[in-house]
């Protein structure tokens, strides 16, 4: 396999049943949804033992990202080769028809609460669709303590202690590990996160899982132990415009785990980076990625990984496009902004 040169790699979605999910992902992604059940998540780039993303184009079609990471370490990761044991990011689309559980994720430093091979989980969201009843809860109201939050869990009024806002399409919010959060009410988001699946639930809105006819388990003690009570409320970020021609390029997130830009325009523009991987996610429109003399079609909902060896490519829009471009930082210990 390692004799085949790498190229812009397209990956297909992996759908996940969630009791709070809906059916909106059918409009975003071309792969049909499983019938007659709520689908809350589409994992669009995942290097997990239980859910490995597979290449969906070219000579490497059917190969997993796990195999690519193993057999093409330098070609895939470039100057980041050897720094990670697996691809370090997990990308998703989430359709929250109902409210997710009120939850928290541990940080890298809270090793007591991390299973073997797992990292902490800092994540970020970009809102794609929202309605009047949509809500994002992120962070605690001023004065919230461990004791009154524990009592609120027992009383069923946790939401009274959470900061919230009504989101609109385009809003973006970053959630450092230790942030209490949830969202729902017919909202569709893109999520980028550390490659971790560690979640502790504080409260679940009295949901009953239709498959088990039982409420889902809570992990109140672990969740409370992982909360950063000094953090306060989290609000949408203010993107920084870096360029306006030939494409409007905004830096949306910059933290030690990922950088994310939003690119909007209808003229050709560069994407990718020399000697480092980049990920492209198409939110609106369609066009082609040009690498050397080859063209790779990209449509709404598609995700492409540009291996480090591919370097800088050109994106040629066929219509006005809205893309996300994601990088893995090459510097350690960058402050979350």
Written as six digits, the tokens of 41 are: 């998540």
* CB-CB contact of 187 with 167 (8 Å): yes
**φ, ψ dihedrals at 25, nearest 5°:** -65, -20
According to DSSP, the residues that pair with 129 across neighbouring strands are 188
Mapping DSSP onto H, E and C, the string for 5-72 reads CCCCEEECCEEEEEEEEECCHHHHCCCCCCCCCCEEEEEEECECCCCECEECCCCCCCCEHHHHHHHC
| DSSP category for residue 77 | H
Q: Is 295 helix (H, G, I), strand (E, B) or coil?
A: strand
Does the annotation count 201 as an active-site position?
Answer: yes
**φ, ψ dihedrals at 114, nearest 5°:** -110, 120
Query: How do beta strands 123-129 and 14-22 pair?
Result: unpaired
| 107 CA to centre of own chain | 17
18, 135, 201, 262: which one is catalytic? Answer: 201
Question: Which strand (E) or helix (H) includes residue 222?
Answer: helix 220-226
Angle at 73 between CA 15 and CA 269, to 5 degrees: 70
Q: Is 226 helix (H, G, I), strand (E, B) or coil?
A: helix
- The 10 Å CB-count burial string (b at 16+, else e) for 174-204 is bbbbbbbbbbbbbbbbbbbbbbbbbebbbbb
According to DSSP, the residues that pair with 183 across neighbouring strands are 136
Question: Which strand (E) or helix (H) includes residue 221?
Answer: helix 220-226
* Nearest C-alpha neighbor of 106 from the set 177, 174, 182: 177
Active site amino acids: 201
């Amino acid at each position: 396999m390692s004799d085949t040169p790498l190229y812009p790699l397209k990956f297909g979605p992996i759908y996940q049943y969630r009791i709070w999910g809906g059916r909106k992902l059918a409009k975003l992604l071309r792969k049909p949804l499983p019938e007659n059940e709520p689908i809350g998540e589409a994992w669009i780039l995942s290097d997990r033992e239980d859910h490995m993303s597979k290449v969906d184009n070219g000579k490497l079609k059917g190969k997993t990202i796990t195999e690519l990471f193993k057999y093409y370490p330098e070609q895939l990761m470039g100057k980041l080769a050897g720094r990670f044991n697996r691809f370090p990011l997990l990308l998703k689309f989430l359709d929250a028809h109902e409210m997710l559980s009120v939850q928290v994720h541990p940080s890298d430093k809270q090793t007591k609460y991390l299973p073997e091979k797992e990292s902490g989980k800092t994540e970020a969201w970009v809102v794609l669709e929202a309605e009047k009843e949509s809500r994002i809860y992120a962070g605690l109201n001023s004065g919230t303590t461990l004791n009154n939050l524990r009592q609120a869990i027992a009383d069923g009024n946790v939401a009274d202690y959470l900061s919230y806002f009504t989101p609109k399409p385009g809003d973006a919010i970053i959630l450092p590990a230790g942030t209490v959060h949830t969202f729902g009410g017919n909202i569709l988001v893109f999520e980028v996160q550390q490659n971790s699946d560690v979640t502790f639930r504080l409260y679940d809105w009295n949901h009953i899982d239709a498959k088990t006819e039982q409420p889902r388990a809570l992990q109140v003690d672990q969740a409370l132990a992982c909360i950063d009570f000094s953090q306060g409320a989290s609000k949408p970020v203010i993107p920084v415009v870096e360029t306006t021609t030939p494409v409007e390029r905004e830096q949306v997130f910059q933290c030690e785990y990922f950088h994310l830009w939003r690119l909007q325009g209808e003229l050709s523009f560069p994407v990718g980076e020399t000697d480092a991987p980049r990920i492209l996610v198409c939110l609106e429109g369609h066009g082609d990625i040009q690498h050397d003399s080859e063209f790779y079609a990209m449509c709404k909902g598609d995700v492409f990984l540009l291996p480090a060896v591919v370097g800088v490519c050109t994106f040629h829009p066929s219509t006005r496009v809205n893309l996300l471009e994601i990088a893995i930082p090459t510097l350690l210990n960058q402050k979350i902004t």
